[in-house]
Structure 1
């Protein structure tokens, strides 16, 4: 959706008021074997995927953590929508549901979020939860927190989640009821992420526009409080001594986030022990960190994807045959090994299987995904036939990439080479972050481009958090004006079906039709890459960290 600060295009997943549903975000392992525990620096370079690191055995005084994607603009959950902000805010402000390392959900600030009928969700709140100042979290706080996402003046990044909401009301001392204009079964899962975060109404109201800024901070219920925020340098969190859940109390007395975006500087800081850990290990420093005895690199399942997206409804890339040809011409296995350094695997479509891994209808989703055409190996002959059939009036295309992002530049270079083999000319144009970001909101800014290279992620469970934005008319990412009656019907059916199997069957039926159109030329998913200094352990290794209070689990490693 909106661009992140990491790639200025990575937030292909937020802020989408689509027609009816919420938006926004596997396969053959490349040099990997699935399951297991940590990466053990195996001599053969193979990667083992794990959900979490060993549990901490004790507390530590301090942890220093690197944010490679820059300083967050705000700690207000409503303004949280990228890697840096999520990494911090999830440890301050808690959600109604708790995202687990396997991308399933568990009770959080709510003991249950229940879909009572197609247009009614009842939230049962946990008793005895307090904010940092000792005041009790109430149903009024929950109503306020959820409703503020619907305020157009606030322009919440989670606004799309509430697009179908008709009302949010307190219906009991510890109960809140959400009613919908039209059914929206994705809503419950969305409460495990930033959209379901709760803040102190009195504090936020008094702070006004300064809520979440360095001068004011936030007031929430999480395992850490805001210690200090030195703009341009660091944000330090302090353990919440009165945290309501003793079993998940923070193990670090202080947790300092430092902003380090240069790959070489970051790698050196990790190798020297100056920095204890990082999510998003720089690919350039990966080999050195894996060889190091200072700490361990862990790899986990993720929802992060690399894609090339068509920029408009005109030009060569607007023709699905040209997109299909490019998809067939790019060897996804080579992409995963060369660009991702073996830390990823080809993906058949833009919704990765991890998002439905905890669903009761997982088998239905898996079967639907498995039935999709596997284009991980290049097929130039088939690709050339598609180009000949399309016979584009223009054989030159322009691809936009964010300046400074080496992995996306490499992606673009591979696409350029593939296009050349098809008799197409692909010109790469690097844009500065602000300019690149406008592509996601302004059709006029995209007019000069045929394709946009992006990374994206989905931060909560549910197959319906991403697809509607690409396939429904009016979807924020439906830049080709794609429209298929059967797809629309099945997506709307999936959105309204409260039975998990019925919803999954409708989604799979829609996916079967839209996936071949390559509305995104999805190349691969990237594994989550975590580095931990050997003195520490406890952090989740999967991408679940993006929506969970992960830092509270980081503590002393077993000697």
Structure 2
């Protein structure tokens, strides 16, 4: 019976998402790091670029750029532009490793104190020197009440200038992930930002930063034109001008790449459609994939009926056909999730990939896809005759979300769970997660805030705009507290296991899948640095790494 139901659901979903056929585009890698056995490298190694200077590179991205103000931007398409012009004190490279950027050095003095010394050779585009006051102002602004990213900075207390080039960050509580969060606090010039007022980050107001490219012009609908900054403190980029062109349709982006209208498409975690990867590759185009760390999950408000009933949550978990969903959305570039963590987040704490696999395999198991078990759980709940609910999805912005929910909805109808999949605009969907207005059930994706075992989940449990589940217990709070202050890797791993085990047993969140992330570029170019999930969120100046291919 299960096989018949699954076949019917997959056929329905496949009608909405046609899988492409062709030659495999999976890249070879000099460093086949494969935590988790996915067959996809953890990162794409840097290509060999030449020192040739060129006039122009044009790169396409999916999605508009409503603002280049880092305190008002959460869309990855906007961050793709921000990361090319504004720099943080500390960045995360393509491998997920912390590195100094505008900071000359940084030191974790104690669990709640970080001392930072900024570089002495950095200037803004107007020639004025970077100061510790600019850096402290930028952090406070990103963490402040007017910032859409304030929820990421929940542990932040203050940034105090202690010298011309030094500042001290004080946290409210220990946070293992804060240095990774700090990479989101890209530095802007205080004087320019205050003078621009509400216009800062708009197409008229602009920004003032320190990046290798300065912002020449931009339009939310069409993209940005960047010009090389000759006073840059680091290595100068190859192209005099770098254009980022906005596309709203993946197929239009693919055709522009294949015809040579643009030189490259997307950059992790922006991805070309994984299930269509083969149709993007060609004699003039390289497609490269690295492991993704963005998690897809169902979130339930555990304080609202019917999701305050564990049997209901277990029934819902039992109708999630992970393998079937991946087949129609990601093809070979997706993997099912068994917990709200992923192997790449453990590599800094466990050396052996086999040991990482063993840790994850030893967690409390999620309910498997089993419609009979779902019906049995529902019969034991307060809703034995079933229930109805609605999930909103931003269909135009992310049609894969619609596909995922339609597969789940079709399965639910078999056992009495009626899920209406309502298509809305991106703006309407974003508004559903405002504090105090949590939807009873939602589908979402979450990129990790840090390359740490709980980097994908802490922001979903601590008070923040991302905590849609309203789930907190003394046991999980105690385990998180132990995790934050643990000094040894063994202690960190043990605390993380306790958190993940409780989540898998109580199911406020139901992990679904991870899709791997791909970008594409014409063969006359290379990306001369490692590329992975953290390339944009880690505030890497990825545009400066686009170089003519050697030879």
Same fold (TM over 0.5): yes
Distance 1:178 1:103 in 2: 22
Within 1, Cα distance between the matches of 2:428 and 2:403? 20
Q: Is the 8 A contact 1:326 1:383 kept in 2?
A: yes
| Partner of residue 160, structure 2 | 169
**Does the aligned pair in 1 maintain the 2:275–2:328 contact within 8 Å?**
no
Equivalent residue, structure 1, for 2:73: 80
* Residue 249 of structure 2 corresponds to residue 257 of structure 1: no
Q: Secondary structure at the match of 2:291?
A: strand
Partner in structure 1 of residue 387 of structure 2: 395
Residues 183 and 495, structure 1, Cα contact 8 Å, conserved in 2? yes
CA shift digits 1:62-102 (9 cap, x unpaired): 111112122x2221222232211111111111111121111
Is the contact between residue 226 and residue 243 of structure 2 (CA under 8 Å) also seen in structure 1? yes
SS of 2:104's equivalent in the other structure is: strand
Query: Structure 2: where are the runs of 5+ without partners?
Result: 1-23, 33-38
**Residue equivalent to 1:554:** 546
Q: Does 1:453 align with 2:447?
A: no
- Return the match for 2:320 from 330, 351, 357: 330
1:369 paired with 2:356, answer no
Q: Does 1:125 align with 2:118?
A: yes
Deviates more, 1:358-367 or 1:232-241: 358-367
Query: In the alignment, does 2:227 pair up with 1:214?
Result: no
Residues 253 and 273 of structure 1: CA distance in aligned 2, closer, same or farther (over 3 Å): same
Deviates more, 1:179-188 or 1:493-502: 493-502
Between the aligned partners of 1:289 and 1:312, the Cα distance in structure 2 is 42
Against the structure 1 CA distance between its residues 368 and 245, is the aligned structure 2 distance closer, same or farther, given a 3 Å change threshold?
A: same
For residues 284 and 348 of structure 1, what CA distance do their matches in structure 2 show?
21
Alignment RMSD, CA only?
2.9
Contact between 1:98 and 1:107, CA under 8 Å: does it hold in 2? yes
Counterparts of 1:86-485 in structure 2, within 5 Å, are: 86-152=79-145, 155-191=146-182, 193-195=183-185, 197-246=186-235, 249-279=236-266, 280-283=271-274, 285-290=276-281, 292-311=282-301, 313-359=303-349, 368-373=359-364, 375=366, 378-392=369-383, 394-404=386-396, 405-441=398-434, 443-444=436-437, 446=439, 450-472=440-462, 474-485=463-474
The answer to whether the 8 A contact 2:40-2:289 is kept is yes
The 1:463/1:114 distance shift into structure 2, 3 A limit, reads: farther
- Cα pair distance change 1:362/1:140, threshold 3 Å: farther
Tell me, yes or no, if the aligned pair for 1:300 and 1:528 is still in contact at 8 Å: yes
Paired position in structure 2 for 1:7 = none
Distance of aligned partners of 1:114 and 1:356 in 2 relative to their CA distance in 1, 3 Å threshold: farther
Distance 1:106 1:242 in 2: 22
Deviations 1:400-451 (A, max 9, x none): 22232321111011101221333322222212222222210155573xxx42
1:473-520 deviations in Å (ceiling 9; x for gaps): x44344443232110111123224455553443232222212332222
Do 1:103 and 1:357's aligned partners in 2 also have CA atoms closer than 8 Å?
Answer: no
Aligned-residue offset at 1:466: 4.3
Partners of 1:332 and 1:376 within 8 A in 2: no
Partners of 2:449 and 2:468 in 1: CA distance: 23
Q: What secondary structure, in the 3-state scheme, does the structure 2 residue paired with 1:250 have?
A: coil
Flag structure 1 segments of 5+ consecutive residues without an equivalent.
1-30, 40-45
Looking at structure 2, the residues matched to 492 and 542 of structure 1 have their Cα atoms a distance apart, in angstroms, of: 30
Asked whether the equivalents of residues 118 and 497 of structure 1 are also in contact (C-alpha less than 8 Å), the reply is no
